[in-house]
Amino acid sequence: MSVAQAGQAPAVPYPRLHIVAMGMHADRRRVAPHDRFTVTIDVVVSEKRDRLDELVLGNFDDCTIVGDERRHTALPTGGTQFLEVLTLEAGSPGTAMITAAHLDAIDPKVGHPLRYSTDPVSVQVIAAAPIDSTYVSWSARLGRYARWFTVIVGALAFAAFGIAVALRRRARPRPEAPPVIAQAPAVPLPAPPNALALAFDAFSLARDERTLLALRAQLFAEAGVPAGATLSDALARAAMRRSLRVALVEAEAAAFGPGAARVKAGDALVAAVEAYLAPGGDGR
Amino acid sequence: MTHPRAVVSALAETIVGQTETVEALVLALVAGGHVLLEGAPGVAKTLACRALAAAIGGSFKRIQFTPDLLPSDIVGTRIYDQRSGEFATVRGPIFANIVLADEINRAPAKVQSALLEGMQEHRATIGPESLAFPEPFTVLATMNPFDGDGTYALPFAQLDRFLAKIVLGHPSRDEERAIVDRYAAHDPVLVSAVATLDDVRRWQTESRGVFLDDKIRDYIIDIVRASRDTRDVVHGASPRAALALAALSRARAYLEGRAFVTPDDVRSLAPCVLRHRLTFDYRVAATDGDPEAIVTGIVARIPAP
């Protein structure tokens, strides 16, 4: 979710909403032309509402909307989760692009209108394997023969080069390989920002043990420590990233604290991860 | 209301370095357990125990274990009073809040048993009387890793009764310089009491209420069970080790002002709970293996939740 200043004043006043989470995801990354796929836009607000008419969809390139279903659920924390499930039909081979959906609202904490946007979603539309037609023009056939010829000649040249290299190596005495002193320790790569954002969205939508532990694991990965490490390991690696450190500490309280304190820690965790992922935060 | 952190700070004023030891002593006090201290002579084992007793305003007794020590020298005895014509009970040095059992492995098994029975029951029987020890009651027993001649190894079952074993190393160069600067001219001055015995009893009650999540409980059990399934270990830790690790982890969380235990609490304390409870294969000694590395390896093998 990204946040920016809202545009010019609207005819209808902006609603006062605290947007907790906002995301857009496709159920498939690749589809065939004219295949159907779904894109889900999820928005979590702190307020109790039954409609979210302010949500503005983006543009749809190389795909058309064939279905639009809206749902909302009251969350135990007092907020509301809105889901808009779009069924889309892919167009011709290329990239089906769904640009960012957005929502203009006045954040009660800030007091002025802000624009909350999702990330855009793209789906590759890949043509099915070509089927041989009975009619192929001579020029097309020649072109195909020429490509085959190039491939075969290239493969033969590569094989000949390989054989020549192997013969040279056999002829020469092989120098002894230097002894292996130590294997470099495997350093876990930081998780892509999307993985954390997805885990965060999942936790925002349904706060349960599973989504909490998944989010905590992503925060650990973000700090650069593997699963099975402890908070002190993660904090040691995240020394310079204050908002990540705050999120890690809150995740610990939410995961291992007593029941009554978990809800509060969960709220603090959401705020901390939001701050981390916000533009200008340590996570961006 | 005083916090146990005040005791840690007070001890740090007297003892140079040994930060982990000082904290572990306070943790054991809060958890209501007994501690085995192992270290070379002169690394402030006795001073740490004295300072701990002084910081909580408790009574302190030191028993130097020797091969000719008798159980009555520890527990006490009944003496005939000629004037009254009756037997009077004389309580032994075990009746104190902090008892330092110096070189516990120098006394024979019957004396060790008398002490360890008292550690378990928190009371002793002298003649017809069963007398309770003052609370809090903590035994700090020391063992010298050198001078093995003429010692009696503590049986496995008795070692299990110690909540933790702390190994004291030599101070760093800077710490040693500070020791010389501070104590070359005069003896260490014990701190005045920063807490009361009532405070300690309250800490013990409150630390038992620190929340332990099921995931942490399972982590503790996994570590203890892993000690029984390790190649170089003949006898792994008992279920009492799991209880000890849970109690110490709660005490650490309490010391740090948390209402819940974290995996860090467990991981940092597991070695001192396990190291005296494991019996290692003869090959470890034969090949100059490092038991401490095996213990650390067991803890590292179990992923934290």
| Among A115-124, B146-155, B165-174, the least confident range | B146-155
How far is B236 from B244, CA to CA, in rounded Å? 14
Tell me what pLDDT residue A7 has: 57
Which of the residues B206, B208, B211, B250 would you substitute to probe the A interface, choosing the one with the greatest number of A C-beta atoms within 10 Å? B211
| Encoded tokens for B191 | 């701190």
Q: What is the pTM of this model?
A: 0.65
| Encoded tokens for A80 | 């509301």
| Among A178-182, A260-264, B83-87, the least confident range | A178-182
CB interface of B with A, residues 199-218, below 8 Å: 211, 213, 215-216
How far is A125 from A134, CA to CA, in rounded Å? 26
For residue range A2-20, list pLDDT tens digits in order: 666 665 555 557 888 888 7
Q: Which residues of B touch A232 (CB under 8 A)?
A: 264
Positive or negative torsion for Cα B64, B66, B68, B71: positive
Answer whether B264 sits within 8 Å of A232, measured CB to CB: yes
Answer whether B260 sits within 8 Å of A261, measured CB to CB: yes
Asked if B300 is an interface residue toward chain A (Cβ–Cβ < 8 A), one would say no
For residue range B123-141, list pLDDT tens digits in order: 888 888 888 999 899 999 9
**Residue-wise DSSP of B102-121:** ETGGGS-HHHHHHHHHHHHH
Q: Is pLDDT above 60 for A118?
A: yes
Answer whether B262 sits within 8 Å of A258, measured CB to CB: no
Answer whether A256 sits within 8 Å of B303, measured CB to CB: no
Q: Which residues of B touch A261 (CB under 8 A)?
A: 259-260
Asked if A231 is an interface residue toward chain B (Cβ–Cβ < 8 A), one would say yes
Searching chain A, which residue's CA lies closest to the CA of residue B305? A228
**Mean pLDDT (whole number) for B19-26:** 87
Q: Given pLDDT bands bounded at 50, 70 and 90, which one contains residue A181?
A: very low
Cβ atoms A66, A77 nearer than 8 A: no
Q: Is pLDDT above 70 for A268?
A: yes
**Mean pLDDT (whole number) for B179-207:** 83
Q: Please name the member of A228, A252, A257 whose beta carbon is closest to the beta carbon of B259.
A: A257
**Mean pLDDT (whole number) for A171-177:** 50
Asked if B267 is an interface residue toward chain A (Cβ–Cβ < 8 A), one would say yes
Cβ atoms B58, B98 nearer than 8 A: yes
CB interface of B with A, residues 224-263, below 8 Å: 259-263
How far is B95 from B113, CA to CA, in rounded Å? 16
Q: How far is A260 from chain B (nearest CA, A)?
A: 11
Phi, psi of A231 (to 5 degrees): -60, -40
Which of the residues A256, A262, A264 would you substitute to probe the B interface, choosing the one with the greatest number of B C-beta atoms within 10 Å? A256
Answer whether A258 sits within 8 Å of B259, measured CB to CB: yes
Searching chain A, which residue's CA lies closest to the CA of residue B263? A230
Cβ atoms A261, A253 nearer than 8 A: yes
Answer whether A252 sits within 8 Å of B211, measured CB to CB: no
Phi, psi of A112 (to 5 degrees): -130, 160
Q: Please name the member of A228, A229, A256 whose beta carbon is closest to the beta carbon of B213.
A: A256
Mean pLDDT of chain A, nearest integer: 78
Answer whether A256 sits within 8 Å of B261, measured CB to CB: yes
Answer whether B304 sits within 8 Å of A229, measured CB to CB: yes
Q: Is pLDDT above 80 for B66?
A: yes
The owner of tokens 């496709």 is A26
Q: How far is B302 from chain A (nearest CA, A)?
A: 8
> Percentage of chain A surpassing pLDDT 90?
4
Positive or negative torsion for Cα A130, A131, A137, A140: positive
Searching chain A, which residue's CA lies closest to the CA of residue B262? A256
Q: How far is B207 from chain A (nearest CA, A)?
A: 14
